[in-house]
Copies of this chain bind each other. A is one copy, B any other.
Amino acid sequence: MPSVAVLGASGFTGALAAHLLWRHPDFELGAVTARTDVGRRLDDLYPRHRVPLELEELDVERHGAVDAAVVAYPHGASAPVVAALRERGARVVDLSADFRLRDRATYEDWYGPHGAPELFGTAVYGLPELYRDAVRGAALVAAPGCYPTATLLALAPLARAGLIADVVVDAKSGVSGAGRAATEATHFVTVDENVNAYGVAHHRHSPEIDQELAALGAPVAATFTPHLVPLDQGELVSCYVTPSRAVEDDELRALYAAAYASEPFIELAQRPPGVRDVRDTNVCRISVHADARTGKAIAFAAIDNLWKGAAAQAVQCLNLMFGLDERAGLA
């Protein structure tokens, strides 16, 4: 049974990845490492995940001997570690932004110098619904951010049909998306009974969204605005498309039904999806609507930001990379 290490397992996404691999029927969780909380057991830090392993300091020699690793580090910190793991032959799913972009200058504009330039541009973008075959053969997968995951799944059928002339994406995310760091922004009293936008006109997921929309056939600059809402796990994107020609409900629904007919983790709904519908699952639930008054096409996608938006999608990729049933350990 292939052995997988999780690096950065003290954060929300790393810990969930460890949980999913621990209970996975076809992988062995080889080790959990972290840069904080070393020596603590994961089931002390996250009782609900019930992983009885101790967090270790990373030892590339030892931990690089696994068959694969999920790296849940912040951008910048991730690239050199990924490179070290790849040198030792481990396949890697990286959850950071370090390998998602394909244009080096764009990466450096947003994140600064890259920590493993020799690997830049070599990763497969880990959204199986768009890149399934490439993921199957990949040694290095860059798992998408949670916002691009939901946005691209909401828009892919329209983009491929050449229907997107312009698009506004208004995203709402639960607080786990902000990570485990205790800050004023994640303090309960800041978030509770509140809603607000952040990163207006300047969010790091924008270039990733634009890159992939272009790859799908929609070379637009999407207006992307995330909002923080008072809940834990869950993310909803509301996508307002100015279509390149008039569209109607029936055509849109048929388009999405055809695009996603055989997708194991996409659900199409008549009514707008709620984030509760997908909590603690790898499902992306989507609805699409024509607004006859204004001519817009409106698509909603709900995901669990920690699952389909990060850790579970990483496992979905690992399943493909190791020739397993794509749904293994995720049902």
Chain A: residues with CB nearer than 8 A to chain B? Answer: 12, 23, 47-48, 166, 168, 170, 172, 174-176, 180, 182-184, 186-198, 200-202, 206, 221-223, 225, 227, 229-234, 236, 238, 240, 242, 267, 269, 272-281, 285, 289-294, 296, 298, 300, 302, 331
Contact = CB atoms under 8 A, between A and B. Distances in A.
A206 B293 contact: yes
Given A229-B195, A272-B196, A189 B175 contact: yes
Given A188-B188, A231-B194, A298-B225, A331 B23 contact: yes
Given A183-B182, A280-B280, A275 B170 contact: no
Nearest to A174: B193
Nearest to A196: B274
Nearest to A331: B23
A296 B169 CA distance: 12
Given A197-B236, A223-B298, 5 more contacts: A47-B267, A170-B240, A193-B231, A194-B275, A206-B293
A229 B232 contact: no
B278 A48 contact: yes
9 contacts: A48-B278, A166-B242, A170-B170, A193-B231, A196-B302, A201-B290, A201-B291, A221-B294, A225-B298
A188 B178 CA distance: 10
Nearest to A298: B200
Given A197-B300, A229-B230, A275-B194, A294 B238 contact: no
Given A201-B289, A240-B168, A277-B48, A189 B186 contact: yes
Contacts of A281: 48
Contact of A227 (B172, B175, B187): B172
A32 to B, nearest CB: 19
Contacts of A191: 188
A172 B195 contact: yes
A182 to B, nearest CB: 4
A13 B48 CA distance: 21
Nearest to A176: B189
Contacts of A279: 48, 193
A277 B166 contact: no
